[in-house]
Amino acid sequence: MPIYHKLGKIPAKRHTVFENPAGGLYYEQLFGTIGFDGMSSLLYQVHRPTMVKEILSQQNAEPEIAEHRHLKARLLKGFEIQPEQDYIKSRIPLLVNKDIHIGLAAPQGTLHQYFYKNADADELLFIHEGTGTLRTQLGNIKFEPGDYLVIPRGIIYQISFDQAANSLLYAESFRPIYTPKRYRNHFGQLLEQSPYCERDYKLPEELETYDEKGDFVMKIKKQGVMYEVLYPTHPFDVVGWDGYNFPYGFSIHNFEPITGRIHQPPPVHQTFETSAFVVCSFCPRLYDYHPKSIPAPYNHSNIDSDEMIYYVDGDFMSRNNIEKGHITLHPGGVPHGPAPGAYERSIGQKETHELAVMIDTFSPLMLTTDALKIDDGKYYKSWL
């Protein structure tokens, strides 16, 4: 994310002596991506971040694939997944490929027994239900329904919920997640025609710094394996940092839809991008204002991508019988479009109050065994 931010105490110059008032030096760590060529931040820590006491365990964390190849359109009833007390166990992968794992979670408890780090993937959390705080070694972000939380790979975090019932859509991206390039100038600033700007970001604040020794358990996901590692010092021991690589939040309610006289194609809803997929936000907006416009989308062929839509409010102008938490999957290779009657009933309508998150992947998505458990089994016939 091309925006500079800093928190806490940092020295005036990089890579120079930074004395700890309690004695000794603070330890500098470059937290970066793509070798030394990508986004990075410089962290200053009370203890050496390299110390490991023990690797306690490891277990397979790869999704169990039920269908590697398929051509059926699917409807998954997302609110049928089982709630779990443990945050990591609550995350149920449903649609996966080599670039992204998409799933749902219904965590009932706060993650405080251990710390978590995804060493392979950027994480994108969409908060459907629940409020709380994302706690990281680079500061805290308070979240509420409608918030996207972008957590770069390697960030150590815990997540605190204010209530027992919570619902999340999550994506693990094995490609870096960026703001769309066409929204930015060559300096990286979001342009005037972008549907959101830097002012809308929720940046880390309230940097928690702990100078504590003991036994601190961290779960680290790496190459499809979940490791449990014991650290001798508290992972949140950063006294200050600055740079461009850090977690941030953005509310879907701050996305300003781009409209026109006739129906606009899905890229106008784009919110994030990678080299392997895009994320779009469908938000309340005025419909097209040509006197003969048809607000419902035209039928279109997904030849080069799979389209997944997560329905937040259960009100979607081009679908029938959609409820909160439903997911539709329209696979590449076959055309799809408005449900029967939606095309016609959209004519003359002035606005929509829909809210949904779409992820279009450029490689086919596979279905997990957990996805088939909540598949309605008949959605592919819904256009008859």
Going by the DSSP 8-state scheme, the letter that residue 178 receives in this structure is B
Q: Which residues contact 287 (CB under 8 A, 6 or more apart)?
A: 259, 293, 295, 346, 349, 350, 351, 352
Q: Which residues pair with 6 in a beta bridge?
A: 242
Tokens coding 6: 């800093």
Count other C-beta atoms under 10 Å from residue 110's C-beta.
Answer: 18
In degrees to the nearest 10, what's the CA dihedral of 366, 369, 370, 372?
A: 80
pLDDT for the residue numbered 1: 62
Q: Is the dihedral of CA 36, 40, 46, 52 positive or negative?
A: negative
pLDDT for the residue numbered 218: 97
pLDDT for the residue numbered 35: 86
pLDDT for the residue numbered 110: 76
pLDDT for the residue numbered 210: 98
pLDDT for the residue numbered 303: 87
Range 5-62+83-244 classified under CATH 2.102.10.10: no
Alpha-carbon distances, residue 210 vs 26, 214, 236, 238 (angstroms): 13, 12, 6, 8
Q: What is the CATH number of domain 252-381?
A: 2.60.120.10
Question: In tens digits, what is the pLDDT along the chain, a chain of 384 residues?
Answer: 679 999 999 999 999 999 999 999 999 999 998 888 889 999 999 999 999 999 999 999 999 999 999 999 999 999 999 999 999 999 999 999 999 999 999 999 776 789 999 999 999 999 999 999 999 999 999 999 999 999 999 999 999 999 999 999 999 999 999 999 999 999 999 999 999 999 999 999 999 999 999 999 999 999 999 999 999 999 999 999 999 999 999 999 999 999 999 999 889 999 999 999 999 999 999 999 999 999 999 999 888 899 999 999 878 888 988 999 999 999 999 999 999 998 999 999 999 999 999 999 999 999 999 999 999 999 999 999
CA distance 68 to 134: 34
Beta-sheet strands, E only, within 97-151 = 100-105, 115-118, 122-129, 132-136, 139-143, 147-151
Tokens coding 277: 């997929």
Residue type, 117: K
Q: Nearest Cα to 116, choosing from 98, 97, 91?
A: 91
**Chain position carrying tokens 């596979």:** 366
Q: Return the SS3 of 35.
A: coil
pTM over 0.75: yes
The dihedrals phi and psi of 254, each to the nearest 5 degrees, come to -100, 5
Q: Do 252-381 and 5-62+83-244 have the same topology in CATH? A: yes
Residue spans of alpha helices (H) in the chain: 87-90, 342-345, 369-373
Per-domain boundaries in the chain: 5-62+83-244, 252-381
pLDDT for the residue numbered 237: 98
CA distance 173 to 231: 26
